[in-house]
A and B are shown apart, each in its own frame.
Chain A
Amino acid sequence: MVSVATTKSTVLATALATAAIALPSLQFAFAEAAPDQGVVSFKYLHYQDSQIGNGVNVITGASSAGSSSRMGVNAYSMTASVPVAGEWSIGTTFTSDSVSGASPMYHSSNLTKMTDLRRAIDVELTRYFSSGTLSFGTGYSKESDYLSRSYSFQGSLSTEDKNTTFTLGGSLNSDNIFPVTNPNAYYSKKLYSGIFGITRILTKNDIVQFNVGYSNGNGDFSDPYKFYDNRPTRRNNTTILTRWNHHFDWTDGTAKLSYRYYTDTFGIRAHTLEGEYVQPLSNGWTVTPLLRLYSQSEADFYVAVGAVEKADPTQPTPPPADAVYYSEDQRLSAFGAITLGLKVSKSLNQDWLVDLKYEEYEQRGKWSVYGNSDKGLAPFGARSIQVGLSRKL
């Protein structure tokens, strides 16, 4: 209950704080200052996924049932950011991934061996102003059968007291696929995305963020490497993200909680709940455990294993006769997933930082909060390990 006196006092304290802000040159002038140091970092990521159970078979692999390692990715990336003229910064990332393994042609079956190499470069230019920032970025990524380009801009504006920041951004992605299996085919799609966000410092220890994103996609969403795959040529999605970071004075640690809701015109709705706790220890060590829970519904046109009677169980399920759109990509089925991770980092001195991050991912159809899971799919799992090294210049 708020008494009249309380309300009055609070108003008076607010009036005092507001009057103080009106005094000249008491505020720290820059919400976000341009970095005064450059940073170069190098990261190596190893990712390996696997799927266990019946219904997993490999055409050219070693095992025809039981456990099967599928995709393995080794990625190297180098990022450099340098301050320019005090108010600008340029950041560049080079990534080189080698991919090898097997990708299923339908559901989790018919794994085809593949090896590929992806090279990507991103450049971002940021200008720092007294009350905000403006960034422009462009990216280029190439594989043997795939070419992707992106252009983006983002602006942020902070209020006078620097406690609230508004962010507005937009991007264009253009992807082209030249399937190796069909030299005459050409797939392309374009994605226009926009994002609006508000970040607010609530107390010295709490920051909250709210973002809404919308993306409009046109073009070929079908996967040229899969059987029975014909997807709509339009995919629009909306994402709502809320974050809360809280610093605990008694442990000096920070909890980062976030919830994301995703919905798209394929009929997929997804929830992601993530919690991370960053605990600095003595001698430059930091430990960060992570838990991520994910759950999605199936796409409207997903065809489950055995949705239609078929003579041969090793063959793909034919789509229903009246279906216009259909796909047997298990990523479009209803499922839930749990990720457990741990990151350990150590600053060797003021300039060098090393970190090691391990993540274990498990995916099950029955973990979907929407039910209606595809019981024919085997559980899917992945683990990744990342090593990073960075140096301030």
Chain B
Amino acid sequence: MNSRMDSFHFRFEALGSGCEVVIGSGSKKNAQSIAGCAIEEVSRIECKYSRYRTDSLVSRINAAAGHDWVECDEETLSLFQYADTLYESSGGLFDITAGVLRHAWDFGNAVVPGQDVLSRQCSLINWQSVERQGNSVRLPVAGMEFDFGGFGKEYAADRAAALVYRKGVRNGYVNLAGDIRVLGPKLDETPWLIGIQDPRHKSRTIASIPLFTGALATSGDYERYFEVDGHRYCHIIHPRSGYPVTYWRSVTVVAPLAITAGSCSTIAMLKEADGLAFLEDSGMGYLAVDHLGEMYCRNTSSGF
């Protein structure tokens, strides 16, 4: 029996960006079939939770805001439970009803909205007002919206990686647009080296983080933004002021799960100047670049 192993790379488009599954396997056919399952899982989560798809569960709940209760399944209820912890842990900064602000901020046309528009949208942000009873959920005010975009991608990376792992793969990773969950080291037992993009130079990296296992996620002000009068407006928006955060250019967190890494990096972005203390106390490894380009890091190689 020939058991020579190789790493097979599969690239695909999902969640609006480039994604990749890497699988160490003795046969290409086997790797292909496993990668297929992983891609299918990512696509399933996208179809179910994307607010850009009118047929998604999230769009159905959003459409019923102010009116009907919508019954949810086990998976969705557990994600609401997680969202609740996110809200509590971030002092209300990470709120999955904050997606309404994206209607005010038009990144395509680079227009800074007026204060009245922002105030109106901010009044629709209120996770604590969301009604949950048994298996059903209801947004109490018309116009309120859920947005799972804050952790959906990381959740998908973790789900897909766990699926691949259950199929016996022990070397490889799942990378959904930079949110990475590692299955295990390279075939030669060395770590995967994850390059961290320079937030101001798309083609450059500022660091390379070795990962044997665990996960890594980055939030930054460079993914989606526009500039007006030298001021940068990015897509991570403070739920109270209604304005994009400005303190950090990027925050990368290393954690056991992609969803934890992603949540911590986003909370640090939202906490602005207090983000560093949050990262330091989180016990996880991080690499953060502030608005002046200053880098802060802690033990990204043994962050958990």
Contacts and interface: CB of A to CB of B under 8 A. Distances in A.
Nearest to A14: B283
30 contacts: A5-B277, A6-B281, A9-B278, A10-B283, A12-B278, A13-B89, A16-B263, A16-B264, A18-B85, A19-B82, A19-B85, A20-B257, A21-B257, A22-B78, A22-B82, A23-B82, A23-B259, A26-B158, A26-B159, A26-B162, A27-B162, A28-B162, A36-B168, A204-B212, A249-B210, A249-B301, A280-B189, A349-B4, A350-B4, A350-B187
A10 B281 CA distance: 5
Nearest to A284: B188
A59 interface: no
B156 to A, nearest CB: 10
Contacts of B303: 203-204
A204 B82 contact: no
B283 A24 contact: no
Contacts of B259: 20, 23, 26
Interface size class of B (residues with CB under 8 A): 35 or more
Interface size class of A (residues with CB under 8 A): 35 or more
B216 to A, nearest CB: 12
Interface string A35-62: 0110000000000000000000000000
Nearest to A349: B4
B278 A17 contact: no
Closest 7 A/B residue pairs (Cβ): A9-B281, A13-B282, A19-B85, A12-B89, A26-B158, A203-B302, A249-B301
A9 B282 contact: yes
A159 interface: no
A393 interface: yes
A10 B277 CA distance: 10
A65 interface: no
A205 interface: yes
Contacts of A252: 190
Interface in A272-317: 280
Interface in B229-274: 255-257, 259-260, 263-264
Given A19-B85, A23-B155, A33-B170, A13 B264 contact: yes
Interface string A191-208: 000000000000111100
A23 to B, nearest CB: 5
A20 B183 CA distance: 17
B4 A205 contact: no
Nearest to A9: B281
A37 B158 CA distance: 26
A203 to B, nearest CB: 4
A205 B78 CA distance: 31
Contacts of A23: 78-79, 82, 155, 158, 259
Contacts of A29: 162, 165-166
Contacts of B90: 12
A13 B302 contact: no
B284 interface: yes
B249 to A, nearest CB: 22
Contacts of B82: 19-20, 22-23
B116 interface: no
A268 B191 CA distance: 45
Given A29-B165, A204-B301, A9 B284 contact: no
B294 interface: no
Nearest to A19: B85
Contacts of B79: 23
Given A25-B159, A29-B165, A350 B5 contact: yes
A35 B210 CA distance: 26
